[in-house]
Amino acid sequence: MITNLNHEQCLDRFNLELGSFHFQCCALLWRQCYLPAETPSGLRRLREEELVILRGNGQGERKSYERIYDYDVYNVLGNPDSGADKKRPVLGGKEFPYPRRCRTGRPRCKTDPESESRSGTIYVPRDEEFSTIKELTFSAKTLYSVVHALVPSLETAIVDTDLGFPFFTSIDELFNEGVNLPPLQKQGFFKDLLPRLVKAVTDVADDVLRFETPETLEPFFWFSDDEFARQTLAGINPYTIQLVTEWPLKSKLDPKVYGPPESAITTEIIEREIKGFMTVDEALKQKKLFILDYHDLFLPFVNKVRQLKGTTLYGSRTLFFLTPDGTLKPLAIELTRPLSDDGGKPQWKQVFTPSWHSTGKWLWRLAKAHVLAHDSGYHQLVSHWLRTHSATEPYIIAANRQLSAMHPIYKLLHPHFRYTMEINGLARGFLINGEGIIESSFSLGKYSMELSSVAYDKQWQFDLQALPNDLISRGLAVEDPTAPHGLKLAIEDYPFANDGLLLWDTIKEWVTDYVNHYYPDPSRIASDKELQSWWTEIRTVGHGDKKDSPGWPDLKTPSDLIHIITTIVWIASGHHAAVNFGQYTYAGYFPNRPTIARTNMPVEDPKEEERKLFWDKPEVTLLTCFPSQIQATKVMAILDVLSNHSPDEEYLGQDPEPAWKQEPRIHAAFERFNGRLKELEGIIDARNNDPKFRNRNGAGVVPYELLKPFSEPGVTGKGVPYSISI
Which of 171, 491, 638, 726 is catalytic? The answer is 726
Active-site choice (400, 433, 580, 688): 580
Query: Is 414 a catalytic site residue?
Result: no
Per-residue DSSP letter, 662: H
Helix (H, G, I), strand (E, B) or coil at 222: helix
User: Which residue in the list 295, 370, 384, 563 is annotated as catalytic?
Assistant: 384
Which among 591, 571, 586, 570 has a CA at the least distance from the CA of 715? 586
Name which of 383, 487, 361, 443 is nearest 631 in CA terms: 443
**Could you confirm whether 576 is annotated as catalytic?**
yes
8 within 8 A of 40, measured Cβ to Cβ: no
Measure the CA–CA gap between 320 and 288, rounded to whole angstroms: 8
Q: Are 673 and 682 in contact (CB under 8 A)?
A: no
Residues 620 and 691 sit within 8 Å (Cβ to Cβ) = no
Q: Give phi and psi for 186, each to the nearest 5.
A: -100, 115
Angle at 387 between CA 382 and CA 390, to 5 degrees: 100
Instruction: Determine if residue 539 is left, alpha or beta; phi over 0 gives left, psi from -120 to 50 gives alpha, anything else beta.
Output: alpha
Q: Which amino acid is at 477?
A: A
- Alpha-helical (H) ranges within 551-626 are 558-570, 576-580, 583-587, 608-616, 618-625
Q: Is 543 a known active-site residue?
A: no
DSSP assignments along 243-282, one per residue: E--SSS-B--S-HHHH---B-S--HHHHHHHTTTSS-HHH
Q: Give the Cβ contact number of residue 435 at 10 Å.
A: 16
Residue 726 is among the residues annotated as catalytic for this protein? yes
Q: Is the peptide bond before 415 cis (omega within 30 degrees of 0)?
A: no
User: How many beta carbons lie within 10 A of that of residue 656, not counting itself?
Assistant: 15
User: Around Cβ 103, how many Cβ atoms within 10 Å?
Assistant: 19
CB atoms within 10 A of CB 198: 23
Q: Which of 143, 97, 109, 63 is nearest to 394 (CA)?
A: 97
Give the 3-state secondary structure of residue 192.
helix
Of these residues, 437, 576, 645, 695, which one is catalytic? 576
Question: Contact, 562 vs 412, CB < 8 A?
Answer: no
- C-alpha 626/C-alpha 629 separation (Å) is 9
The total of other beta-carbon atoms located within 10 Å of residue 230's CB is 22
**Is the CB of residue 102 less than 8 Å from the CB of residue 72?**
yes
**Chain-centroid distance, C-alpha 539:** 21
Residues 6+ apart with CB under 8 A from 468: 477, 485, 486, 487, 501, 504
Q: Quick check: is 389 catalytic?
A: yes
Please give the Cα distance from 481 to 476 (Å, whole number).
16
Please tell me which residue in 389, 407, 563, 645 is annotated as part of the active site. Answer: 389
Contact present, 235 and 607 (Cβ < 8 Å)? no
Q: Catalytic amino acids? A: 384, 389, 576, 580, 726
